[in-house]
Structure 1
Amino acid sequence: MLIRFWTKRVSLLITITMLVCLLAACGGGNAVNNQKEGDTNNKESAKADNEGTAASKGNVDLKGEFTLWTWEPEHPTALAAFNAKYPNIKVKRVNVAAEDISKKLQTTIASGGELPDVVRIERGQKAKIFDMDILENLEAAPYNADKSILFDYDLPTFSVDDHLVAIPDDMSVAGIAYIKSLAKQYFGTDNPEEMEAIFTDWDVFIEKGKEVLQQSGGKVQMFPSLGDVNQTLKGQRAEPYFDGDKLNVPMLTNTVTDLVKFRDAGIIDKLDQWTPAWNATFGGEKYIFAMSPVWMPQYVIGPNDKKDDRWALMVPPGGGFIRGGSSHGIPKGAKNAELAWKWIEFTSMSQEGAETQKKDGVFTHFKQAYENESFTNWTWRNFGTQDIGHKFFVDISATTKDMPENINDLVLDEVMNIVLQTLVKDEAFGVEQAMDRIQKELKAKAPNIVWE
């Protein structure tokens, strides 16, 4: 019965086709021309359909499971969109704390164990993991990563030997936020552009801070922690601190000199970053400014300040900088590298990935997405109606630079934490004493570092 049905159906189709051809042949010259145009359109349509089918078939043909080491929870919207595009690729998530990633990689290699197909890398661990030389060159086949998709300031910091070995995931460009009522009271305006016109450099910032201190009777200061200032100045430095093992002593001296100037001006409080007391400052009115990476409104200011429309965001004196952020790399010899790359490529290097990640509260480094105002538009309750997305991704981003770091920078970070604590506690501890202490600590912790 089935064969007889299809035989009749085929015969009917042949008959209809013959009738169509006869009608077309009787149509004269115009009919012939229309037929040619129709053939061209049909061919183009068929070509597009075939390409779409081939692409869809390619997505379906990609099957298997790749392993991801990460501490981040799954981003549900982005993951759902990825699953829709690649229905037969599964993600096996293995939870590893950010600070434990490098150690787990080392122990796995030492024991001959199996590395993941993709690993999430926190910025503070990046130099250590890059130094292990275990990550694929993502510009080489089969990945062929396109550098032009990312921001220019990304390229040196996620490269080894001038080749990308990791793709940045969450945007971490940073500006400074301020409490509008305090800005209005002490500077006469709470408008971000007018604030930027006032604070043209850090020397002006310090002088204005002294005025605030005097007018408030010492009750109001500019920042709650010298650590905030250090993170900002470090992010804005003009040159890397290290060239291999050689320390850029003049560059580091400039930073330490500025830190001492801030300390001596009395405009910075003595709180340690990330402590309960420091977190509580965002709900108070003792400090006008706060360092503000793009994740700060949602994850720090918001949870610690229940009031709406108190804050505004501005480009810092000296321009934007990078604070925090993560990336993804593929270890050499990964068994499911192709599947892992499709995930990285979709979530971090595509328009669809950028849009779905935004819905999950993550802004990627896919540069093209930020050319659209509807994408950059982002408000947060603590900042009222200000479009902080435009301020972050257009104004601040345009002034942002980043510096490559190596494993020696991690040692220097440890030493600088010691020096910062001493600067805060001992007002007699100046630039010369600080540099001597840094040299002594570096010699003990990393004798390979060359001090010149």
Structure 2
Amino acid sequence: MLAAAALLAGCATDPPVPPAPGAGSPVPTAGRPVTLTVGVYGTFGMKEAGLYDAYMRLHPDVAIRQTSLSRTDVYYPQLLTHLTAGAGLADVQAVEVGNIAEVVGTQAGRLADLAHAPGVRREDFLPWKWAQARTADGRVLGLGTDIGPLAVCYRKDLFAAAGLPTDREEVGRLWAGDWRKYLAAGRRFAARAPGGTAFTDSASGVMAAVVSGAPLRYYDAAGRLVVAANPAVRAAWDLGAAFARDGLTARLQQFTPDWDRGFAHGRFASVTCPAWMLGYIQDKAGPAGAGKWDVARAPRPGNWGGSFLVVPSAGPRVAEAAALAAWLTAPEQQAVLFERRGSFPSARAAFALPAVADARHPYFGDAPVGRIYSAAAREVPVAPVGPKDGLVNQILSDTGMLQVDQTGRAPESAWRAAMKAIDNALDR
């Protein structure tokens, strides 16, 4: 990236991102003395938003090359293998939030401390996001890229047909402060629901949303698994089961072709909706859904999703890589990533920037999504993230609640089966 320490220090005062993607040719990389690699999964968005090209314009000595694997379940095991071996790593690597606790807990000696990288300021980030990648001795091994603060997306036409309010402020007041009010709204909807429609997509989606806002979830602060004994998890389970029992869901499994078709065919009237899901809904519901969907505040704040950038300490250019990671996650760049790709910033300092504060989404009735999601993000509680959070959540949803929702299995029987599956998966 940079050839001298003096230039490294200058990264803290780099100007905001220059021209938007498409404003000129891509930056050529040939002949640059320093090449930094960035390893990601899926379509991470930084390249597509033009951030790499912007950085290379600011730093003519640097070439950035990205590698990507489409699936997290392939990417992450390879990342752990390469970290253990100290070889085969990119200079900067992405880590999904469900894996960050395991990375921090087991790979701390193999990752650089980014707390004092050029331009990094703790106060710029949401406290709960900063804490997720911090070690017990205060090192910060990952810088947050994006988050998934929760709202509820809903179909105005279906709400109107069922006699529910459609104005987003009134809709938010229907269930403000309590997920049980969301259940009550579902029962009201069911009493006059248009034929072939359900109030929400899945019991698992409701359960996950409720858990996402709890101050204690699957692990405690000491890293002990507490899922079976945590009343907050059990309350979320019971609420999801109530949605299934009362016939308020479309009985769909999220991220399946049937779920996608549910958006397209208007099979459900609402869905718990992190910021990144706006683009997903627009894609799956298509032009026919434009103006029918809107966004209201969730009953309680929560977060679903998000990622980090880490810098392996075995790399040949750790300082340069740390400076790149710091720049990519700075508030100005996070605001650009939101504006161009819809990834909501984990840097709270970005919330006041016009690209976030003034953001509206025309597909969702010109909803003020910047304001809605910023407010939700600020209220998410700091909660311990365990090493197998993602796996535990998957088992609860797919082995447990999905059976309640789709087959009518008794909630208590499905709970016991899920707890047993979690113990088996974690070799307990």
Class of the TM-score when normalised by the shorter of the 2 chains = 0.7 to 0.9
Contact 1:223–1:267 (8 Å) recurs in 2: yes
Counterpart CA distance in 2 for 1:294 and 1:447 is 35
For structure 1, which runs of at least 5 residues remain unmatched after alignment? 1-50
- Which SS does the other structure have where 1:407 is aligned? coil
* Pairwise CA distance, 1:401: 3.2
The superposition leaves residues 6-55 of structure 1 with CA deviations (integer Å, 9 ceiling, x where unpaired) of xxxxxxxxxxxxxxxxxxxxxxxxxxxxxxxxxxxxxxxxxxxxx99x94
The letter for the 1-side match of 2:92 is V
Alignment of 1:194-273 (within 5 A): 194-200=170-176, 201-216=178-193, 219-243=196-220, 244-248=223-227, 249=229, 250-273=231-254
Counterpart residue number, 1:388: 369
Question: Which TM-score applies when normalising by structure 2?
Answer: 0.82
- Select the residue among 145, 150, 174 that pairs with 2:150: 174
- Select the residue among 280, 287, 310 that pairs with 1:306: 287
Moved more, 103-112 or 411-420: 103-112
Counterpart residue number, 2:298: 316
Aligned residues: 389
Alignment of 1:81-100 (within 5 A): 81-97=54-70, 98-100=72-74
1:70 to 2:50 alignment: no
Contact 2:204–2:402 (8 Å) recurs in 1: no
Counterpart residue number, 2:159: 183
Change (3 A) 1:333 1:359: same
Counterpart residue number, 2:316: 335
Change (3 A) 1:429 1:85: same
The letter for the 2-side match of 1:82 is Y
Counterpart CA distance in 2 for 1:123 and 1:270 is 27
Counterpart CA distance in 2 for 1:144 and 1:76 is 21
- Which SS does the other structure have where 1:92 is aligned? strand
* Pairwise CA distance, 1:178: 0.5
- Which SS does the other structure have where 2:206 is aligned? helix
* Pairwise CA distance, 1:426: 4.1
Contact 1:221–1:286 (8 Å) recurs in 2: yes
Counterpart CA distance in 2 for 1:345 and 1:121 is 15
The letter for the 2-side match of 1:338 is A
Change (3 A) 1:115 1:415: same
Question: Which TM-score applies when normalising by structure 1?
Answer: 0.78
Contact 2:358–2:368 (8 Å) recurs in 1: yes
Alignment of 1:105-116 (within 5 A): 105-109=79-83, 113-116=87-90
- Select the residue among 121, 127, 147 that pairs with 1:146: 121
1:101 to 2:75 alignment: yes
Greater C-alpha radius of gyration: 1
1:434 to 2:414 alignment: yes
* Pairwise CA distance, 1:303: 3.9
For structure 2, which runs of at least 5 residues remain unmatched after alignment? 1-5, 15-31
Counterpart CA distance in 2 for 1:263 and 1:428 is 10
Change (3 A) 1:101 1:401: same
RMSD: 2.8
Higher relative helix content = 1
* Pairwise CA distance, 1:150: 0.4
Contact 2:218–2:386 (8 Å) recurs in 1: no
Counterpart CA distance in 2 for 1:223 and 1:386 is 20
Counterpart CA distance in 2 for 1:101 and 1:160 is 23
1:404 to 2:384 alignment: yes
Contact 1:178–1:311 (8 Å) recurs in 2: yes
Change (3 A) 1:298 1:144: closer
Counterpart CA distance in 1 for 2:224 and 2:87 is 31
Counterpart residue number, 1:125: 99
1:444 to 2:419 alignment: no
- Which SS does the other structure have where 1:210 is aligned? helix
Alignment of 1:10-49 (within 5 A): none
The superposition leaves residues 171-226 of structure 1 with CA deviations (integer Å, 9 ceiling, x where unpaired) of 32221100112223334421111111121322222223223222237643211212
